[in-house]
């Protein structure tokens, strides 16, 4: 993307966060279905931001780097909108289906803000992270039927359609299917996640579905895109936490001096800053690797997950400690940043999980 256009988008994202994400507004959005405001979602679409997922032509792939300003903004201001699942993962599968004309116009509807396809991929079975799916698809009477259970599907209740990963029984091949949220045989158990956003457990009992795209490569690509953008969000989140902590140390006084004048606290802040900068560099490098379709992407994604998960935990926990008892109060957002870090670990893996996969 042209550097001038990218700069304009970054300015727009900063202004949007300032105007739409005050602390009071952030709290008010939690009262909505799935914990985000649909009018804010439509405003993002009207600004043309969702069009960043579209390639310039049918023969090209839209660079993942185009989405960086949005996920930098999402992390810095704790945006509640389900950007990771929709722009990161669902759009990847819709782009793959669009090449064969099987996306049913959903990609264009997503760009316009009319469609919100929720990505239902994770299962209670831990090996599902490696693509071993328990949800199965059988072909009966000219149609596919899905049976299984998907855990922690973000924004499922406000989604207009589900994109469900499943294993085709006849071939053993993994695939992604379109399933209506109102389809008989589909039940949603809604709940609030640790970071006060909406999610649901999706149960499927012979639910009718339409094949969107088959093959392991499309699903792997979607998961990689989601993981890379989650790393960018986490790195940007760390930046806000470091800045807030530095401001607190400059303002808070103890023994007649500002806390920032104590060398031991300066060293803590430097460690936080270095963890943020290392994570940011690695997250951007992973996005670039995805755009270049480099070899051994899965291993590179795990290495980045180790760093980002460990660093974001360290930074947010240090921030809570340096803020004292105020760190976990509702008055300050520090605790909410920490909860978001824990939720991203739940969705994309902890440092220990990533290390175990690297060892395997």
The string of pLDDT tens digits covering residues 72-111 is 999 999 999 999 999 999 999 999 998 777 778 899 999 9
Place of tokens 């290390």: 355
- Token pair of 151, please? 């855990």
Place of tokens 């042209």: 2
- Token pair of 76, please? 């810095």
- Token pair of 55, please? 């390639």
Provide the pLDDT for residue 332: 86
Percent of the chain with pLDDT over 70: 97
| Cα–Cα distance for residue pair 155/32, rounded to 1 Å | 11
Average pLDDT for residues 348-358, to the nearest whole number? 94
CA angle 22, 276, 83 (to 5 degrees): 50
| Cα–Cα distance for residue pair 18/35, rounded to 1 Å | 19
Provide the pLDDT for residue 61: 72
pLDDT band at 59 (very low <50, low <70, confident <90, very high): low
């Amino acid at each position: 993307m042209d550097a001038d256009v990218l700069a304009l988008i970054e300015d727009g994202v900063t202004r949007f966060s300032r105007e739409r994400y005050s602390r009071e507004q952030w709290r008010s959005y939690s009262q909505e279905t799935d914990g985000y405001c649909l009018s804010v979602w439509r405003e993002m679409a009207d600004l043309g931001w969702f069009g960043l997922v579209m390639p310039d032509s049918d023969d090209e792939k839209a660079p993942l780097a185009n989405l960086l300003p949005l996920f930098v903004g999402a992390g810095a201001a704790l945006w509640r909108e389900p950007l990771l699942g929709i722009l990161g993962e669902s759009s990847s599968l819709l782009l793959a289906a669009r090449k064969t004309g099987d996306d049913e116009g959903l990609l264009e509807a997503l760009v316009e803000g009319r469609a919100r396809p929720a990505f239902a991929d994770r299962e209670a079975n831990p090996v599902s992270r490696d693509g071993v799916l328990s949800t199965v698809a059988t072909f009966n009477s000219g149609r596919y039927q899905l049976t299984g259970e998907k855990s922690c599907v973000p924004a499922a209740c406000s989604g207009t359609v589900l994109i469900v990963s499943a294993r085709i029984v006849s071939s053993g091949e993994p695939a992604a299917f379109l399933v209506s949220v109102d389809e008989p045989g589909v039940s949603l158990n809604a709940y609030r996640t640790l970071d006060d956003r909406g999610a649901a457990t999706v149960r499927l009992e012979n639910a009718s579905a339409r094949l969107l795209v088959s093959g392991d490569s499309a699903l792997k690509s979607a998961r990689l895109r989601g993981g890379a953008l989650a790393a960018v969000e986490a790195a940007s989140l760390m930046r806000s936490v470091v800045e807030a902590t530095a401001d607190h140390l400059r303002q808070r006084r103890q023994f007649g001096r500002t806390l920032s004048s104590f060398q031991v606290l300066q060293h803590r802040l430097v460690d936080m800053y270095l963890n943020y900068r290392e994570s940011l560099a690695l997250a951007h490098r992973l996005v670039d690797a995805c755009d270049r379709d480099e070899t051994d992407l899965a291993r590179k994604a795990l290495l980045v997950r180790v760093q980002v998960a460990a660093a974001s935990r360290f930074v947010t926990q240090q921030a809570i400690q340096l803020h004292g008892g105020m760190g976990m109060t509702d008055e300050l957002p520090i605790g909410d940043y920490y909860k978001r870090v824990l939720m991203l670990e739940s969705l994309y893996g902890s440092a220990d999980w990533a290390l175990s996969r690297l060892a395997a």
